[in-house]
């Protein structure tokens, strides 16, 4: 085994003894390296020589007063071949060397070496503690600014990973179908009944025949009240008036007789008020009553009415809206139940489609209530909130001003709006409008600061930290707490923690 340049007398003696216990094949030669303190101590060399001779070990490099290191050869455990100077000197110090060995192996010397070793070990522990125990926490208030940024993102079912350049994140399309049935009361009102009917004679006081079309209006002539209207049941032609002359010696008289024709008429509306008595007179189509006049010879009869409840268009729309809202809520809950983990559903972007609707009563149909059966489909995109925030964080990092860093790892991101759109290829996607608010702080090189703080006094560290651009306040806490003049920053960067704070 080799002797080291740092080995002392005791280490060298121990290695000689260990070499002596080795087998002959493994014993070898021990050499004193250049720079060994043993080369400068003649007594130590003498002791080594004596011990090596006794144990039969070869030691090279021993020099007793000569500038050239002599060689001691020990062969077969007994043969010693020193240089001439070494032999002569060895005879003079042999007795002293034997005495030194006895001293080194004495009980007092062992106690001295034990206490010395314990003291050195304690000193080593104290030194290690001074390096390992101290810990410092540095709190830096740094200048900050608010950064607010909006982004338009697209959640696509064909995407498998976020795409920062195209602002795309993966999404999953979920579709559900819901069916429901609901009843509602009809609120419409309608008059129901029969129209009065009868016959009326039309008189023509003109010299020409007059043809009246079907449904020509005959209006009741009255001084007060509603002017009720009747309609001709068929087309008819009323002949012109005729004239007859009678004469006496004293005078001649011409008598005119109007042309007339009787036709069936029907009241314009239902109701008892159209049951007119005989002898009622009517005007025709706004013509002068001096030329055309109608009169019934018999009373009109059959007119009556009553109010009934019917289904209106508003009734159907109201029921459709109510049932649709219920099915939309059910579809929304159904879609929400299918999300897992951090998947996010933008409820405002759910698309609803009516697949079918059936009313059991038509508009204007007489009924006190009616029923609706509705089928509805809900479609929505869900996406990972984590991936959304990851994409926003990457986009936001590109907007951070120079010499600033994002202060918060978790950004305040909210979805302000979302809508389902159709891409160029006809595929449906979800467009998401986000608004993100974050704080940016002045850049601080924490590794450099730690290296610069190592071993500094507290005042020096304080001044150094306050000189860093962007730092507005400094607080240093050192453990263990000592009087300020004695406190120093740790010797290890791993024992220095830096905490950044901002408004």
Q: Please tell me which of 67-76, 120-129, 404-413, 445-454 the model is most confident about, judged by mean pLDDT.
A: 445-454
CB 7 within 8 A of CB 38: yes
Percent of the chain with pLDDT over 70: 83
What does the alpha-carbon distance between residue 342 and residue 171 come to, in Å, rounded to a whole number? 12
pLDDT digit string, tens, across residues 473-492: 999 999 888 787 778 899 88
pLDDT digit string, tens, across residues 195-254: 999 999 999 999 999 999 999 999 999 878 788 999 999 999 999 999 888 878 788 888
Q: What is the mean pLDDT of the chain?
A: 83
DSSP letter (8 states) at residue 70: P
Q: Please tell me which of 127-136, 309-318, 343-352 the model is most confident about, judged by mean pLDDT.
A: 309-318
What does the alpha-carbon distance between residue 446 and residue 449 come to, in Å, rounded to a whole number? 5
**Residue 258 CA, distance from chain mean position:** 93
Q: How confident is the model at residue 89 (pLDDT cuts 50, 70, 90)?
A: very low
Q: Domain limits of the chain?
A: 9-105, 131-143+443-501, 189-308
Q: How confident is the model at residue 157 (pLDDT cuts 50, 70, 90)?
A: very high
Which residues have CB under 8 Å from 216's CB, separation 6+?
A: 231, 232, 284, 285
Residue 123 has pLDDT above 60, yes or no: no
* Exposed e or buried b per residue across 84-104, where buried means at least 16 C-beta atoms within 10 angstroms of its C-beta: eebeebbeebeeebeebbeee
Which residues have CB under 8 Å from 409's CB, separation 6+?
A: none
CB 147 within 8 A of CB 439: yes
Residue 131 has pLDDT above 80, yes or no: no
The pLDDT value recorded for residue 79 is 38
Q: What's the whole-number mean pLDDT along residues 41-60?
A: 77
Residue 383 has pLDDT above 60, yes or no: yes
Range name among 28-32, 125-129, 295-299, 427-431 with the lowest pLDDT average: 125-129
Q: What's the whole-number mean pLDDT along residues 143-154?
A: 88
The pLDDT value recorded for residue 153 is 94
Q: How confident is the model at residue 427 (pLDDT cuts 50, 70, 90)?
A: confident
What does the alpha-carbon distance between residue 312 and residue 320 come to, in Å, rounded to a whole number? 13
What does the alpha-carbon distance between residue 120 and residue 460 come to, in Å, rounded to a whole number? 33
CB-neighbour burial class of residue 296 (10 A; exposed 0-12, middle 13-18, buried 19+):
buried
CB 311 within 8 A of CB 369: no
Q: What's the whole-number mean pLDDT along residues 319-330?
A: 96
pLDDT digit string, tens, across residues 239-292: 999 988 887 878 888 888 999 999 999 999 999 999 999 999 999 988 999 999
The pLDDT value recorded for residue 346 is 84
Q: How confident is the model at residue 114 (pLDDT cuts 50, 70, 90)?
A: low
What does the alpha-carbon distance between residue 198 and residue 75 come to, in Å, rounded to a whole number? 162
CB 427 within 8 A of CB 152: no
Measured in degrees and rounded to the nearest 5, phi and psi for residue 166 equal: -95, 0
DSSP letter (8 states) at residue 486: G
pLDDT digit string, tens, across residues 60-69: 776 554 434 4
What does the alpha-carbon distance between residue 378 and residue 337 come to, in Å, rounded to a whole number? 13
Range name among 38-52, 58-72, 271-285, 342-356 with the lowest pLDDT average: 58-72
Q: What's the whole-number mean pLDDT along residues 108-125?
A: 57
Which residues have CB under 8 Å from 265's CB, separation 6+?
A: 197, 198, 199, 200, 218, 230, 231, 232, 233, 296, 300
What are the residues facing 408 on neighbouring strands? none
Q: How confident is the model at residue 110 (pLDDT cuts 50, 70, 90)?
A: low
Match 């009869």 to its residue by tokens. Answer: 301
pLDDT digit string, tens, across residues 432-471: 999 988 888 888 888 999 999 998 888 899 999 999 988 8
């Amino acid at each position: 085994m080799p002797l080291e340049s740092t080995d002392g007398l005791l280490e060298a003696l121990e290695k000689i003894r260990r070499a002596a216990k080795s087998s002959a094949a493994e014993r070898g030669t021990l050499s004193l390296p250049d720079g060994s303190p043993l080369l400068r101590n003649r007594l130590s060399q003498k002791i080594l020589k004596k011990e090596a001779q006794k144990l039969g070990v070869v030691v090279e490099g021993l020099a007793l007063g000569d500038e050239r290191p002599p060689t001691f050869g020990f062969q077969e455990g007994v043969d010693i071949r020193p240089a001439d100077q070494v032999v002569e000197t060895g005879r003079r110090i042999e007795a002293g060397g034997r005495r030194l060995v006895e001293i080194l192996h004495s009980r007092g010397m062992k106690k001295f070496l034990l206490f010395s070793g314990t003291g050195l070990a304690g000193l080593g522990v104290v030194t290690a503690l001074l390096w390992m125990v101290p810990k410092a926490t540095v709190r830096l208030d740094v200048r900050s600014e608010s950064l607010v940024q909006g982004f338009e993102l697209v959640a696509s079912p064909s995407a498998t990973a976020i795409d920062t350049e195209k602002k795309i994140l993966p999404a999953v399309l979920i579709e559900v179908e819901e069916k429901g049935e609901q009843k509602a009361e009809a609120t419409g009102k309608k008059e129901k009944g029969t129209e009065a009917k009868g016959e009326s004679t039309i008189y023509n006081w003109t010299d020409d025949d007059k043809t009246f079309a079907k449904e020509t209006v005959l209006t009741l002539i009255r001084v007060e009240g509603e002017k009720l209207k009747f309609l001709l049941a068929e087309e008819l032609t009323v002949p012109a008036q005729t004239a007859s002359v009678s004469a006496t010696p004293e005078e001649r008289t011409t008598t005119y007789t109007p042309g007339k024709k009787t036709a069936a008429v029907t009241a314009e509306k239902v109701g008892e008020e159209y049951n007119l008595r005989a002898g009622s007179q009517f005007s025709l189509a706004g013509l002068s009553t001096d030329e055309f006049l109608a009169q019934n010879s018999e009373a009109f009869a059959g007119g009556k009415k009553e109010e009934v409840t019917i289904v209106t268009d508003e009734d159907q729309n109201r029921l459709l809206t109510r049932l649709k809202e219920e099915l939309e809520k059910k579809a929304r809950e159904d879609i929400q139940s299918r999300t897992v983990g951090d998947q996010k559903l933008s409820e405002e972007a759910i698309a609803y489609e009516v697949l079918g609707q059936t009313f059991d009563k038509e508009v204007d149909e007489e009924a006190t209530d009616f029923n609706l059966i509705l089928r509805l489909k809900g479609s929505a995109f869900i996406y990972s909130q984590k991936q959304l925030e990851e994409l926003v964080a990457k986009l936001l990092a590109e907007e951070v001003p120079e010499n600033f860093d994002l202060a918060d790892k978790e950004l305040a991101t909210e979805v302000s709006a979302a809508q389902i759109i159709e891409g160029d290829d006809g595929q449906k996607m979800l467009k998401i409008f986000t608004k993100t608010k974050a704080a940016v702080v002045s850049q601080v090189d924490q590794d450099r600061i730690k290296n610069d703080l190592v071993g500094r006094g507290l005042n020096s560290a304080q001044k150094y930290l306050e000189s860093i651009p962007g730092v507005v306040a400094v607080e240093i806490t050192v453990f263990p707490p000592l009087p300020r003049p004695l406190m120093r920053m740790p010797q290890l960067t791993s024992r220095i923690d830096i905490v950044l704070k901002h408004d």
